Every structure is written in C-alpha cells, then in structure tokens.
Amino acid sequence: MSVAPDSAPEPLLAKSKTARATIAAMEEILGKQIPVLDGQGFLRVVDYMGDDGAIVQAARVSYGQGTKHTSQDRGLIRYLLRHRHTTPFEMCEIKLHLKMPIFVARQWLRHRTANVNEYSARYSLVPDEIFKAGIQDLAVQSAVNNQGRGETLPAHEATQLTGEMQQAAENAYALYLRLLNENNQRPDQQGVARELARTVLPLATFTEFYWKCDLHNYLHFVSLRADPHAQKEIRVYAETMVEILDKWVPLTAEAWRDYVREALTLSGEERTVLRRLLNGEKVAKSETALSAREWRALGKALGYDPESETYPTA
Ligand SMILES: Cc1cc2nc3c(=O)[nH]c(=O)nc-3n(C[C@H](O)[C@H](O)[C@H](O)COP(=O)(O)OP(=O)(O)OC[C@H]3O[C@@H](n4cnc5c(N)ncnc54)[C@H](O)[C@@H]3O)c2cc1C
C-alpha cells in the first residue's frame, strides 16, 4: 500500500496526547491519501476508534467473565465472528475520506449503515476530472454473468474506444462549463444554476465524501465489495480497505478471512452432492437440482473443471 503525503491538512483538529488505544500501523497512514484506480481516486483514513482489544472488552462485559489473558483474545474474536455475535464489532469505528467516480459512488452509497457527507455539486463546481478506463479493462459483456465482463478487447480496438469515451465525457464537461457561463461566453448573463447544469455530466466524473462506519458493517461492506462478483472499480477500493483492516484489527481480519472470505457456504442440495462425492460416487449435473451457475460455482470451489457435466473431474 503506497501513501501520498496529506494534501489537505485539518487545521481545526486539535492534536494532543491521548489515553485512548492507538495502533502504530494506523497512526502511520492516518491522514495520508492512498491512491486507488491508478491514482485517479483515493482513500484516506481520517480517524478510527477502537482495536481488537475493544471488541474483546465489550464481549467480556456481555459474558460477565471479567478480564482474561491476551492469549485468549484471538479465540474469543474467532468465536464471535464464527457465531455472528456481531455487536462487539460495532464498538470500533473508522472514518474515511474517499474520492471516486460517480458510477462507483452510486454502488458505494447503497450501503446504508454508514454516515456520509458528500461534496455538493449544487454548491460547488464539479472538477474537470474524467475517469479513464484502462485499455486492459475494456472487455466485452460476459456471456455467463449479466453483471460482468468477458474477454478483453483487442488492444487497438480498446484504444480507439477509450479515446471515444474520453472525448464524449470532455464534450459533456465543455457543455457544463458553457451552461454555467464559466468562460463568460455570454457576458452580463448569469449562468444556469449548478444544480441543473450538472445533469449533463457523465457517471465518469468524480465525487468525494466522508464515510464513517462501524467495524461490523465495514466487514459486511468488504465481504460484498471485495468479492469477485463486485465490479472491478469498486473492488479495488474494497481491497485497499482489507489492507487497512489488517493494520487496524489484525485478529479480526484473520478471523474474517477464515470464517467469511475463504469460507464455503453450502445449500442443502450442494451438501447432498458433496456427501455423494465423499462416498466415492460420480455425480452428473442432471441428477441434481442445482442451476448451471450453482453447479459451476460448486465445481470451482471443489477444484474440479466447472464446465464438466460430471464431478469429480480428473
Ligand atoms: C455484486 C453486487 C451486485 C448488486 N446488484 C444490484 C442491482 O442490480 N440492483 C440493485 O438495486 N442493487 C444491487 N446491489 C446492491 C445490493 O442489493 C445492496 O443494496 C448493497 O450491497 C448494500 O447491501 P446491504 O443492504 O446489505 O448493506 P447496508 O445498507 O449497509 O445494510 C447492512 C444490513 O443492515 C440491514 N438493513 C439496513 N437497512 C435496512 C432496512 N432499511 N431494512 C431492513 N434491513 C436493513 C440489512 O440486514 C443489511 O444487510 C448489488 C450489490 C452487489 C455486491
């Protein structure tokens, strides 16, 4: 994780010695921009509260067991996460400052359990910045997943199309400036109100917001958005958040990887198929009630060729 020096100091925040828990690895990145999307966007930890110890402390209150050895903290955190005893994780909080294209922010802001303050395009000028998709990211619509990408386009075609995407966005931005009369093309005339002029801007323009969330919902967010099903452009932010998780609450991060990220949840039908496989049987897809997608996902998880109609595969 590379960090840039903080470009926006926060003069109103008093810096003082504190008796609160602080984490050296978090103090190191605090306030510094972490570039995302090849530096087009960023993520910055503005503040955080609590550590792995705060989770243990809260859980022990609810169990009434008093203070235990540190060596047992890891076990308790793993137990809590495994059994979805979630409230102790809500004792930790984090505040991020984020900059991202609007099409990513639309997905981001669907997560309702955070507190948000966003840049106002009614009040301020939208900056002249347009998201540039990488040539290597320009892929065709996936044939198997309606919400995904398939094969990458040939480089010459991708270069041509990204150029056209860029041009279209620049034209829209030029119209935005014209509506606002920013270039004073219509002297002595007021520009169109910012709240309306912005409607010509594409989803590729950028927004910024502060986002405060507790650890339970942060884990929920990264579980959904660092998942391969999520769109790449939000996934890269979520992966950066996973790196922050490792610094902030390493024991929780370890437990989350084990019980959520790397875990495999099986439906009743999938369990039946697995039992038959463990009994040494060959199972054909047609004998099961699994959908094509479920069949492929199960095969992939078990290390078989997901395109095969029969498991196990060699
Ligand atoms: C891969 C992917 C594809 C998606 N595709 C689409 C799509 O095509 N269309 C679309 O509209 N959305 C889509 N979404 C968004 C998705 O449906 C959720 O809105 C989003 O992921 C936020 O999840 P959440 O509601 O669990 O999170 P949060 O809003 O953070 O809520 C966390 C949890 O709190 C509880 N909660 C919060 N608010 C309420 C409430 N008002 N009532 C009841 N319980 C509540 C729920 O248990 C919820 O799981 C997609 C998300 C992903 C990850």
How many other CB atoms are there within 10 angstroms of residue 296's CB atom? 18
Would you say residue 130 lies in a domain?
Answer: no
pLDDT tens digits, 287-312: 999 999 899 999 999 999 999 999 99
What's the Cα-to-Cα distance from 135 to each of 132, 161, 242, rounded to whole Å?
9, 9, 26
Strand segments (E) across 202-302: 206-214, 283-284
C-alpha 112 – ligand 1 centre gap (Å): 8
CA nearest to 207, candidates 142, 274, 118, 133: 118
Buried-exposed string 63-79: b where 16+ CB fall within 10 A, e elsewhere: eeeeeeeeeebbebbbe
For the chain, how many structural domains are there in total? Answer: 3
Q: Distance from the CA of 223 to the center of ligand 1, in angstroms?
A: 12
Closest atom of ligand 1 to CA, residue 224: 53
pLDDT number for residue 180:
92
Considering the domain architecture, whether residues 43 and 120 belong to the same structural domain is answered as yes
- For residue 203, how far is its CA from the centre of ligand 1 (angstroms)? 21
pTM confidence score: 0.91
Q: 28 and 104 share a domain?
A: yes
What local confidence, expressed as pLDDT, does residue 104 receive?
A: 98
Nearest to 284 by CA among 264, 304, 267, 268: 304
Which protein residue's CA is at the shortest distance from atom 41 of ligand 1?
A: 112
Q: d(Cα 241, Cα 29) in Å, to the nearest integer?
A: 12
Same domain, 139 and 165: yes
Whether 186 and 234 share a structural domain:
no
120 lies in the same domain as 215: yes
Both 96 and 160 in a single domain? no
- Assigned domain for 54 exists: yes
Give yes or no: residues 176 and 285 share one domain: no
- Are 38 and 65 found together in one domain? yes
Dihedral class, residue 37 (left if φ above 0, else alpha if ψ from -120 to 50, else beta): left
Same domain, 285 and 305: yes
Residue from 115, 224, 293 whose mutation best tests the ligand 1 pocket (most atoms within 8 A of CB): 224
Pick from 136, 281, 119, 266: nearest CA to 205: 119
Phi and psi angles of residue 184, each rounded to the nearest 5 degrees, phi first: 55, 40
CA of 132 to the centre of ligand 1 (A): 27
Q: Answer whether 220 contacts ligand 1 (Cβ < 6 A).
A: yes
15 in a structural domain: no
**Residues in the chain where the model's pLDDT stays below 70:** 4-12, 63-71
Domain that holds residue 180: 135-200
Q: Whose CA is nearest to atom 9 of ligand 1?
A: 107
Helix axes 268-278, 292-302, angle to 10 degrees: 50
pLDDT in tens, 111-134: 999 999 999 888 888 999 999 998
Q: Is 82 helix (H, G, I), strand (E, B) or coil?
A: helix
Considering the domain architecture, whether residues 37 and 119 belong to the same structural domain is answered as yes
7: in domain: no
Catalytic position from the list 78, 82, 194, 225: 225
Predicted confidence at residue 11, as pLDDT, reads: 61
Q: Domain boundary at 200, 215, 246, which?
A: 200
DSSP letters of 137-193? G-EEEPSS-TTSEEEEPPHHHHHHHHHHHHHHHHHHHHHHHHHHTTT-SSTT-PPPP
Q: Which residues contact 136 (CB under 8 A, 6 or more apart)?
A: 152, 158
Q: What residues form DSSP beta bridges with 115?
A: 212
Would you call 225 a catalytic residue per the annotation? Answer: yes
The predicted pLDDT at position 9 comes to 56
Instruction: Let me know whether 114 and 257 are in one domain.
Output: yes
Nearest residue to 173 (alpha-carbon basis) of 133, 206, 200: 200
End-to-end CA, the chain: 39
Q: What is the pLDDT of residue 314?
A: 73
Are residues 142 and 282 located together in one domain of the fold?
Answer: no
Rounded CA separation 80/251 (Å): 12
Nearest CA to ligand 1 atom 17: 110
* Cis ω for the linkage preceding 228 (within 30 of 0): no
pLDDT, position 66: 53
CATH of the domain at 246: 3.30.1360.170
Helix axis angle, 232-248 to 215-225, nearest 10°? 140
pLDDT in tens, 202-211: 999 999 999 9
Kindly give the distance from the C-alpha atom of residue 78 to the centroid of ligand 1, in angstroms, as a whole number: 25
Residue at 254 is within a domain: yes
Is the minimum distance from the CB of 229 to ligand 1 under 6 angstroms?
A: yes
Q: Assess if residue 14 is contained within a domain.
A: no
User: Does residue 223 sit within a domain?
Assistant: yes
